[in-house]
Chains A and B, each alone.
Chain A
Amino acid sequence: MAAPKTTAIHGLLAEFDKPEALVEMARQARAEGFTKIEAYSPMPIHDLDEALGLKNKLPLFVLFGGLAGMAVGMGLEYWTSVIEYPTNIGGRPHFSWPAFIVPMFETTILFAALTAVFGMLIMNGLPQPYHPLFHVKRFAEATRSRFFFLIEAEDPRFDLAGTREFLARRKPLSIEEVPN
């Protein structure tokens, strides 16, 4: 979406009242070769993932996040209590690793969790206060009960009339132009 605007409108938005209609629409559009397409639904719909061919790398990042947390945790403990300022605490060894496991564990979880949430937000480009779709009144239903399908104007195969006619074939409740 960051691409420079070349057209007057953002794209065409088709509205459906049934999830499978949306899924079918998505399949067709992809088969037709559209690339800049997106489906909107009030709840997650599993089949859209494969219909639109979605993948994500989040799990990998989280793994690294966790490992980093582990390293930071134990590193901190080792450095502070063995290197930086070793003291005689109740005759215990400076490097009392069994005791150090607990904080290390917690930092591992913390870092992983932070990566998961903020990774998700960043990859989703959120927060995003402005989006052309918000101009469309009916789109409010996207978070309530309706299912929308969008073909962006930036799509190379996009032409207003043709695409509208293509969308209409799936008998949506409505088709709207999304202003920029």
Chain B
Amino acid sequence: MKDHPKTEAREALIGPGHTIASITDKISEIVLAPLAKTPLGWHAVMGIASVGVIALVTTIVHLVTTGIGIWGNNIPVGWAFDIINFVWWIGIGHAGTLISAVLLLLRQQWRTSINRFAETMTIFAVACAGMYPLLHTGRPWLAYWLLPYPNTMGMWPQFRSPLIWDVFAVSTYATVSILFWYTGLIPDIATLRDQTRSKIARFLYGTLAMGWRGAASHWNRYETATVLLAGLSTPLVLSVHSVVSFDFAAGIVPGWHTTVFPPYFVAGAIFAGFAMVLTLALPIRAFYGLKDFITEKHLDNMGKVLLATGLIVTYGYAMEAFTCWYSGSAYEGYALQNRLSGPYGLFYWALILTNCTVPNILWWAPARRNIWILFAVSMSVNIGMWLERFVIIVVSLHRDFLPSSWGMYSPTMWDWGMFLGTIGFFVAAFFLFLRLMPIIAMFEIRLLVPKSGVTGKELPHDHDGGAHSSGAQGAGAPAMHDHASRS
């Protein structure tokens, strides 16, 4: 039960002077504010993002009507931006599930104020990721052939292919993430239903809330379901990026065929995910004045996660290089040499700088609480993780076994259109959510309120939950429930 040292736990995870009522109002007002009151900044961001969305739509139309020849892909580089961005987005998505599931199981209470945030990020990141495998095929209108369904051709998917594993993993991941996310939203939507003054809003939220009333019996099953989902999501999230890494590890291309891929892809995903959470959280926190809920302690913890995963990833690179050399294989050997000093060598060194060097500043405690440094580091990692995929995919493919078939790759405007387009789509969707749904899980935050009406008792939550709550019950006082004590 000694999940983390007391000193850390003692630090409040929520600003002083909050009651559960004030929390509810503060968070729901972001959503319930009348349209006219929507901040200008929000409109600005939406404006920019929608440009991206338009670019995305244009690209997709041209792509489907003309063929993926509009991209820079070629033989030998059959995969490029399409799969790079697929992996990049999927990776980003992982932080959400990690925060909402793994940290839940680890009883990390600091997760509560950022988990909604992260889960939402997951959903839209996975949506962006999902577009690529679909559209990168030569004949996207036949992509449904990857699904196992009875058909007159009598044909079925070829289950030895890592791409089929992808289909299963990613679709499962998307489904479970959405379920998890929506389940988490239900009580808060109910709050909005009861708080809103607009009839339409009440009808819509009412529909979505499905008649949630916060009955004790409901809470009871609800809690069970959440914990079970958390338990299921954890192996799932680990499997998804392992499977993604199989796309390469299961291939024979020098630079792909590596056993270290699954673990370091997973670490990389968490790395990338937390970076993206910070990238989004820092501005929004400042913008909507949520400093009371996303406190410096949160930033500090995220900084630590970033540092830790960064080190794992660095280790991954090291092992990769080592095995290339140790294998004594001419192909692996050259793959390494080509990464370090080939025509794309710069990308590799940029990757080392952004992913392995920069995050080390987070060893220094003040850096973890300085939003500017954190933001800089998170951006560096976002870029670094993209470079990592570029190095793995393009740099491995462009010079493989037969020197005669070596080639080069350069993206076209349509590659960029698609990439920036998905980013635009992601931001737009996220900001839409921001305006329509509570960005912080109110019902969970309520559990963190110091003395939320409970007199004379120390709140169980603010040490390692379960231990104390049970103790508290012994004292006959009511215990605020936190999920952890169930698991």
Interface residues of A (CB under 8 A from B): 17-20, 22-23, 26, 38-49, 52, 54, 56, 58-59, 62, 66, 73, 76-77, 80-81, 84-85, 89-90, 92, 96, 99-100, 102-103, 105-107, 109-110, 112-114, 116-117, 119-121, 123-124, 126-131, 133, 139-145
Contact A19 B447 (CB under 8 A): no
| Residue among A17, A19, A44 with the highest chain B CB neighbour number at 10 A | A44
Could you tell me the distance between the alpha carbons of A43 and B483 in the complex, rounded to whole angstroms? Answer: 11
Flag if B225 contacts A47 (CB, 8 Å): no
B residues less than 8 Å from A89 (CB atoms) = 158, 160
Q: How far is the CA of A135 from the CA of B176 in the complex (A)?
A: 35
Cross-chain contact B446 with A43 (CB below 8 angstroms):
yes
Is the beta-carbon distance between B478 and A20 smaller than 8 angstroms? yes
Whether A45 touches B219, Cβ cut-off 8 Å, given contacts A19-B454, A119-B225, is yes
> What distance in Å separates the Cβ of A89 from its nearest Cβ neighbour in chain B?
6
Who on chain B is nearest to A109 by CB?
B236
What residues on B are CB-neighbors of A126 within 8 Å?
210-212, 218
With a cutoff of 8 Å between Cβ atoms, the chain B residues found around residue A47 in the complex are 473, 478-479, 481
User: Closest Cβ of chain B: how far from A151's Cβ, in Å?
Assistant: 13
CB neighbours (8 Å) of B454 from chain A are 18-20
A103 and B159 contact, CB distance less than 8 A: yes
B33 at interface (Cβ–Cβ under 8 A)? no
CB distance from B201 to the nearest CB of A (A): 14
> Which among B195, B215, B444 is the interface contact of A39 at CB below 8 angstroms?
B215
A126 to B207, CA, bound (A): 11
Asked whether, in the complex, the Cβ of A40 is within 8 Å of the Cβ of B225, the reply is no
- Chain B interface (Cβ within 8 Å of chain A)? 19-21, 24-25, 148, 154-160, 164-165, 168-169, 172, 175-176, 179-180, 183, 187, 190-191, 193-195, 206-207, 210-225, 228-229, 232-233, 235-236, 239, 243, 246, 443-444, 446-447, 452-455, 469, 473, 477-481, 485
Contacts A42-B20, A109-B172 aside, 13 further interface pairs with beta carbons under 8 A come to A38-B216, A42-B443, A43-B187, A49-B220, A56-B224, A99-B165, A102-B239, A105-B239, A120-B183, A120-B222, A126-B218, A143-B212, A143-B213
CB contacts (< 8 Å) of B179 on chain A: these are 113-114, 116-117
Question: What are 17 pairs between A and B in contact, CB < 8 Å?
Answer: A18-B453, A23-B478, A38-B215, A40-B215, A43-B446, A48-B216, A56-B221, A80-B156, A81-B159, A85-B156, A102-B169, A103-B168, A113-B175, A117-B229, A119-B225, A124-B217, A143-B190
Contacts of B195 in A (CB 8 A): 140, 143-144
A129 and B236 in contact, given A144-B195, A145-B24 (Cβ under 8 angstroms): no
Task: Evaluate whether A43 and B194 lie within 8 angstroms (CB atoms) in the complex, with A38-B216, A103-B165 already known.
Answer: no
Compute the total of residue contacts between A and B using a CB distance below 8 Å.
Answer: 225
Contact A124 B21 (CB under 8 A): no
Query: Residues of B contacting A81 with CB < 8 Å?
Result: 156, 158-159
- Rounded to whole angstroms, the CA-CA distance of A143 and B443 in the bound complex is 8
The reply to whether A43 and B246 form a contact with Cβ atoms under 8 Å apart is no
By a CB distance below 8 angstroms, the chain A residues around B157 are 80
In the complex, A116 Cα to B487 Cα: how many Å? 15
Closest to B196 in A: A140
For the complex of A and B, the 8 pairs showing the least CB-CB separation, nearest first, are: A127-B210, A46-B481, A128-B211, A120-B225, A80-B156, A145-B21, A140-B194, A106-B168
Given contacts A45-B219, A103-B165, A124-B221, contact A85 B155 (CB under 8 A): yes
The minimal Cβ–Cβ distance linking B475 to chain A, given in whole angstroms, is 11
Verify B176–A144 contact, CB threshold 8 A.
no
Q: Max chain A CB contacts within 10 Å: which of B20, B194, B217?
A: B217
Bound-complex Cα distance A124 to B215 (A): 9
